Amino acid sequence: MKQRLNLSVLMRSKVTWAVVAEVLILIVCLIVRPDFFSISYQPSTGMLYGNLIDIVNRSSEITIIAMGMTLVIALGGTDLSVGALVAVAGAIALKFLRWDVTVYNTPGDYTVYPFFLVLVVPLLVCIVMGLFNGFLIARWDMQPIIATLILMVCGRGIAQILTNGKQFTTGYSPFRVIGQGSFLFLPMPIIITAVVVILVSLFVRKTAFGTFVESVGINRKASRLSGINAQLIIFIVFALTGFLSGISGLIYSSRIMSNDSNNAGLNFEMDAILAVVIGGTSMTGGKFSLLGTVLGSIIIRTIVTLVYYFGIASEATMAFKAVIIAVVIVLQSEPVRNYFSKRAASRAKLANGGVK
């Protein structure tokens, strides 16, 4: 009976459904491609290759942003500007990866500015933009969705102005490492993502920050009256999200070794929000699950990979993504979960009665 009751608790947990969905999709993958789980080692690059690694690698950008987005959503908001910030970070990085045109006339392994500027300046700018969001929300009490809409609309324009509307390319190898290098046999983005996930989790759960975020997300006024500096919490969360968008932008532009103000980070805000919601964090704010978010992001990527296998055009993956996401979200929705947990409970009752 105890097991049955646990089952009903599990049925009510949103993360459970995310795990179930991921396992089901992986099983379908396995049926379509029996060698789906195989991983091979390529000595020439010193990296492991395989579908699973590819899925995690390709989900890096979204996972990193979604870490911040989880906290934003836990505060009861949404950050629409992350995609634009990805474009801004890429534009600034590539702006600093200039070379002396009098010496070389093709892109190559050179840069005039020191490499740390290439890394630090985009991240700083993204933090500042995150703080701008935070300022509008914490100080002016704006709705997050509107406040971040401003930078979402402006952001790509700013990226265009910074690069004068041009698309730069580079061949600078230290920059290439970020998106295409490897460490411990794994692609670098996976390593970066793992570090980000661990650091954010530690920061949130080993300090009281997570509790404060939940508290402010549930009831900002009561939190303030309990002595929590709600404004500070909001500032930190939005600055962190900006910073993470910057990291994501660097990875993205390092993969293509170029900037693309129009398409870099396009729809990232949507994917990140989806990842968070699929991961079981409610859009109304409050309790959140970072692990669920990582899972959500991987689910989204797994769907895309699965659809490739059916030989369907990449743009059309959206339709399948939509269908699977719809199923997950409907399963997670309150009435459906209540229905299942009630059924599980009544079955448990029946079993109990039978014993008696």
Partner 1 sequence: MPDNNILEMRQIEIQFPGVKALDKVDFSLRAGEIHSLLGENGAGKSTLIKCLTGVHHKDGGTIILNGREIQPQSPQNAIELGISTVYQEVNLCPNLTVAENIFVGRQPMKFGQIDWRTINSRARELMRRFHLDIDVSRPLSYYSTAVQQMVSIARAVDIQAKILILDEPTSSLDDNEVKLLFQVMRDLRAEGMGIIFITHFLDQVYAVSDRLTILRNGHLVGTYNIEDISKVELVTQMVGKDMDTIFNLKRVDVDKDAPYVLTASHIGIPGQVEDISINLRKGELMGFAGLLGSGRTETAEMLFGATKTANGEIELNGKKTEIRKPYDALMHGMAFCPEDRKVDGIIGDLSIRENIALAVQARRGFMHPLSRKEQNDLADKYIKALGIATPDAEKKIGELSGGNQQKVILARWMATDPNVLILDEPTRGIDIGAKAEIQRLMLEMCEKGVSVIFISSELDEIIRCSNRIVVMRDREKVAETDGANCTQEKILAIIAEGAQGAGGTKS
Partner 2 sequence: MMSDNRNSSGRSLISSILNPKFIMVYATVGIFLVIYLFGVVAYGSKGFTTLRTFTNLFVDNAYYGISAVGMTMVLITGGIDLSVGAVASLTGMFIAYGTAVLGLNPWVCIAFSLVVGVGLGLLMGWVIHYLNVPPFITTLTGMFLARGVCALISRESIEIKNETIDALASWKLYFMYLKDGEWTRIRPSAFVNFNVILFLVVLAVGIYLLQRTRFGRNIYAIGGNEQSAKLMGLPVGRTKVLVYGFNGLCSVLAGIAYALYVKSGWNLSLQGAELDVITCAVIGGTLLTGGEGYMIGTLFGVLLKSMIPALITFNGNLLSWWGKIATGLLLLLFICIQKIVVSSTERRNSKSKKAAKNKA
Cβ atoms of 309 and 29 closer than 8 Å? yes
Structure-token match 């989204």, residue found: 300
Closer CB to partner 1, 95 or 220, in the complex? 220
Angle formed at CA 270 by CA 323 and CA 120, multiple of 5 degrees = 145
- Binding flag, residue 218, partner 2 (CB under 8 A): no
Give the contacts of 136 (CB within 8 A, at least 6 positions apart): 142, 147, 150
**From the list partner 1, partner 2, none, partner contacted by residue 58 (C-beta under 5 to 8 A by kind):** none
Closest CA to 155 of 3, 266, 10, 4: 266
Minimum distance of partner 1 from residue 338's CB (angstroms): 10
Stretch that binds partner 2, among 48-56, 93-101, 277-285, 347-355 (CB under 8 A): 277-285
> How far is the C-alpha of 159 from the C-alpha of 17, rounded, in Å?
39
Beta strands in 129-208 (DSSP E): 182-183, 186-187
How far is residue 53 from each of residues 46, 48, 49, 297, 338, measured CA to CA in Å? 14, 8, 6, 14, 36
The site string for partner 1 over 251-290 (x = CB under 8 A, - otherwise) reads -----------------------------------xx---
Cβ atoms of 340 and 62 closer than 8 Å? no
- Binding flag, residue 78, partner 2 (CB under 8 A): yes
Minimum distance of partner 1 from residue 2's CB (angstroms): 17
> How far is the C-alpha of 312 from the C-alpha of 99, rounded, in Å?
41
> How far is the C-alpha of 71 from the C-alpha of 279, rounded, in Å?
13
Closer CB to partner 1, 179 or 210, in the complex? 210
Closer CB to partner 1, 229 or 317, in the complex? 229
The site string for partner 1 over 171-210 (x = CB under 8 A, - otherwise) reads -----------------------------------xxxx-
Stretch that binds partner 1, among 133-141, 162-170, 227-235, 264-272 (CB under 8 A): 227-235
With CB under 8 A as the contact rule, the residue among 42, 143, 211, 333 that binds partner 1 is 211
- Binding flag, residue 157, partner 2 (CB under 8 A): yes
> How far is the C-alpha of 216 from the C-alpha of 5, rounded, in Å?
32
The site string for partner 2 over 281-320 (x = CB under 8 A, - otherwise) reads --xx---------------------------xx-xxxxxx
> How far is the C-alpha of 308 from the C-alpha of 279, rounded, in Å?
23
**From the list partner 1, partner 2, none, partner contacted by residue 208 (C-beta under 5 to 8 A by kind):** partner 1
> How far is the C-alpha of 57 from the C-alpha of 36, rounded, in Å?
16
Residue ranges that bind partner 1, judged by CB under 8 A: 206-209, 211-212, 214-215, 218-219, 221-229, 286-287
Q: Interface with partner 2 by CB under 8 A: which residues?
A: 78, 80, 136, 140-143, 145-147, 149-154, 156-158, 160-161, 165, 270, 273-274, 277, 283-284, 312-313, 315-323, 325-326, 329-330, 333-336
